[in-house]
Amino acid sequence: MPVILPVNGIEPKLGENCFIAPNATIVGDVVCGDECSFWFNAVVRGDVNSIRLGNKVNIQDGAVIHCTYKKTKTVLGNNVSVGHNAIVHGCLVHDNVLIGMGAIVMDNCEIGSNTIIAAGAVLTEGTIVPSGCIYAGVPAKKIKDISEELIHGEIDRIANNYLMYSTWFK
């Protein structure tokens, strides 16, 4: 069974048609939209501040979503994919974003829509990523603008695939 726990009397609120893997953890002030998925060993800790997820968000295996006590909340828009073992902490992520495997997004970062954060990238505290580009490296920097082909071929494809994968477990 997944670990879904209240913290200080605040329980997670999950939208319709969500998948939660048997060993995923969701605690505290977490609210998600519809068709979200929380994969194996994913941790979403709304214990020290709030976490908000839009519709069709997938938190892949081993990813951690957290925030900073009394300072930063975490907000993810619609159609966001958080790759395996990524860390997303106290930041704002707009719609249609792919955060690659092992990427780290620190406090007070803001990621614009239609953007890819490459696998292994590190967004240092306060980084502002404009819409429609790819960021990569340590520390992450813009490497190019994103094409419509990548928006549909990667961002949408991955989000849609994870929605499909979740049906295999229901």
pLDDT value at residue 148: 87
pLDDT value at residue 127: 98
Altogether, the residues listed in the chain come to a count of 170
Identity of the residue numbered 93: V
Among the listed residues 35, 49, 38, the one whose alpha carbon sits nearest the alpha carbon of residue 7 = 49
Q: Does the 3-167 domain belong in CATH 1.10.1040.20?
A: no
Q: What is the DSSP letter of 154?
A: I
Position of tokens 């020290």? 48
- With vertex at residue 89, the alpha carbon angle to CA 82 and CA 6, rounded to the nearest 5 degrees, is 90
Domain range annotation of the chain? 3-167
Position of tokens 């999950």? 14
Is the pLDDT at 76 greater than 90? The verdict is yes
Mean pLDDT (the chain, rounded): 97
Confidence at 149, pLDDT banded by 50, 70, 90: confident
Q: What is the DSSP letter of 55?
A: S
DSSP secondary structure of 95-144: SSEEE-TT-EE-TT-EE-SSEEEPTT-EE-TT-EE-SSEEEETTTTEEEE
Taking the chain, what is the end-to-end CA distance rounded to the nearest angstrom? 14
Could you read off the pLDDT of 1-54 as tens digits, one per residue?
A: 999 999 999 999 999 999 999 999 999 999 999 999 999 999 999 999 999 999
pLDDT value at residue 28: 98
Could you read off the pLDDT of 108-124 as tens digits, one per residue?
A: 999 999 999 999 999 99
Mean pLDDT of all residues in 128-156? 94
